[in-house]
């Protein structure tokens, strides 16, 4: 569809009329990765730095930032760039199930148990077991020697490597939790058109949720082990050989290095990086980037040494005080 048509359909008529380069909109993307025919947006100062070198054809931008737009990108001035971007994302939404999966390519050594549902264009390698009640959506690829336990759901486009176990009830590739907000306080869904990639030798516990990326991918790297009831947000990266204990939550776009250990019920904010070999004690609440080879605990988060002393000292100090 031409960009002007899309803008009209979402009631951005003024922007539609002013449009100079009214070509087919090929897709939407972050400015860093957008190419010719794509549209990006700027809605925070920090995004401006990607603007000069972006290969996007158009950018949604506030009037105040207009002077920052380079000549090779057409500025589309709107009041709320994130909200308009969210609305346009709906035109690129992919169907979860295109058809009924008659075309799956499955290695004959693999065992598909009863009551399994396979979407369109599914590929499954050798020596896998796909247990009853598993639902695998369109374009999912699964490597060799995998066990997908009962009632697991794998959303479209997920890529599952080799030697992987996914325990019962886990959900891989569900929509990320992202919305733009109107002035009236309504939330407009941002369609998450990325996917989830799980590298070789990963094991995922029962009833976990791993959301797919808004663009690009959410990735669980080689050899990582994830316990039950863990939440991995959209666009997260879990580094190689990491250990994520039960009930941990990683907020969107948070990444970890290799051999990171997160104790049970720990959690993170979004857009954080946790360095290689970092250890987070159970219930630790990570709100900032953490350098490699460090240990942390508590909420607010402190280095483990400080945290171990902190409450001991406090309780001693308070002992003689009355409420």
Q: Which of residues 269-308 bind a second copy (CB under 8 A)?
A: 269, 282-283, 285, 298-300, 302, 306
Hey, which residues between 199 and 218 contact a second copy (CB under 8 A)? 201, 203, 205-209, 211
Q: Which helix (H) or strand (E) holds 267?
A: strand 267-268
297 is written with which tokens? 């605990």
| Binders in 172-201 for a second copy, by CB under 8 A | 174-175, 177, 179, 185-187, 189, 201
108 part of the interface to a second copy, by CB under 8 A: no
- Dist. CA 128–CA 86, nearest whole Å: 38
Nearest approach, Cβ of 217 to a second copy (angstroms)?
A: 18
By C-beta, is 22 or 305 nearer to a second copy?
A: 305
- 63/150 Cα distance (integer angstroms): 52
Q: Confirm if 152 and 169 have CB atoms less than 8 A apart.
A: yes
Q: Which of residues 220-259 bind a second copy (CB under 8 A)?
A: 223, 225, 227-229, 231, 233, 241, 243, 245-247, 249, 251, 258-259
User: Which residue has 């941002």 as its token pair?
Assistant: 190
Binding mask 68-107 for a second copy (x = CB under 8 A): ----------------------------xx--x-------
Q: What DSSP character marks residue 9?
A: H
What does the alpha-carbon distance between residue 13 and residue 315 come to, in Å, rounded to a whole number?
63
Which among 167, 192, 234, 241 is annotated as catalytic? 234
Check if 271 is active-site. Answer: no
CA distance 144 to 126: 5
Q: Does 314 bind a second copy (CB under 8 A)?
A: yes
**CA dist list (Å): 29 to 33, 41, 92, 143, 289:** 6, 8, 11, 29, 25
Shortest Å distance, C-beta 141 to a second copy: 18
Q: Which of 45, 46, 71, 114 binds a second copy (CB under 8 A)?
A: 114
> How many Cα atoms occupy the beta-carbon half-sphere of 240 within 13 Å?
2
Q: How far is CA 40 from CA 6, 125, 251, in A?
A: 15, 37, 23
* Min dist. Cβ of residue 140 to a second copy (A): 12
Instruction: Give 53 or 313: the residue with its C-beta nearer to a second copy.
Output: 313
Number of residues counted as binding a second copy (CB under 8 A): 82
| Nearest approach, Cβ of residue 290 and a second copy (Å) | 17
Report yes or no: 133 and 151 within 8 Å, Cβ to Cβ: yes
For a second copy, give the closer residue by CB, 34 or 87: 87
Residue list 115-174, contact with a second copy (CB under 8 A): 115, 117, 129, 131-133, 135, 137, 147, 149-151, 153, 155, 165, 167-171, 174
- Helix (H) / strand (E) element for 231: namely strand 231-232
Task: Return the DSSP state at 110.
Answer: S
Active site residues: 234
């Amino acid at each position: 569809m031409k960009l002007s048509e899309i803008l009209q359909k979402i009631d951005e008529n003024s922007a539609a009329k002013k449009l100079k380069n009214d070509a087919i909109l090929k897709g939407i993307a972050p400015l860093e990765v957008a190419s010719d025919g794509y549209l990006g947006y700027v809605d925070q100062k920090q995004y401006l730095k990607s603007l000069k070198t972006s290969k996007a054809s158009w950018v949604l931008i506030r009037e105040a930032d207009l002077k920052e737009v380079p000549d090779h990108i057409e500025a589309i001035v709107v009041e709320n760039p994130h909200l308009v971007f969210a609305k346009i994302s709906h035109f690129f939404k992919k169907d979860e199930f295109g058809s009924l999966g008659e075309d799956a390519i499955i290695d004959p050594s693999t065992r598909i148990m009863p009551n399994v549902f396979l979407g369109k264009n599914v590929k499954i390698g050798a020596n896998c077991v796909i247990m009853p009640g598993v639902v695998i959506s369109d374009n999912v690829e699964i490597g060799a020697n995998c066990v997908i336990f009962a009632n697991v759901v794998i959303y479209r486009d997920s890529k599952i490597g080799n030697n992987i176990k996914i325990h019962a009830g886990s959900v891989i590739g569900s929509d990320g939790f992202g919305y733009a907000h109107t002035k009236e306080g309504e939330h407009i869904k941002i369609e998450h058109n990325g996917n989830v990639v799980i590298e070789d030798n990963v094991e995922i516990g029962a009833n976990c949720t791993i959301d797919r990326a808004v663009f690009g991918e959410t990735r669980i790297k080689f050899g990582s082990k994830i316990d039950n009831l863990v939440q991995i947000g959209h666009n997260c990266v879990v580094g190689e050989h990491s250990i994520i204990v039960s009930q941990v939550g990683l907020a969107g776009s948070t990444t970890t290095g290799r051999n990171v250990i997160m104790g049970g019920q720990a959690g993170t904010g979004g857009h954080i990086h946790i360095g290689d070999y970092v250890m987070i004690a159970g219930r630790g609440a990570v709100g900032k980037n953490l350098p490699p080879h460090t240990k942390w605990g508590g909420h607010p988060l402190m280095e483990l040494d400080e945290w171990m002393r902190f409450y001991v000292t406090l309780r001693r100090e308070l002992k003689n005080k009355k409420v």
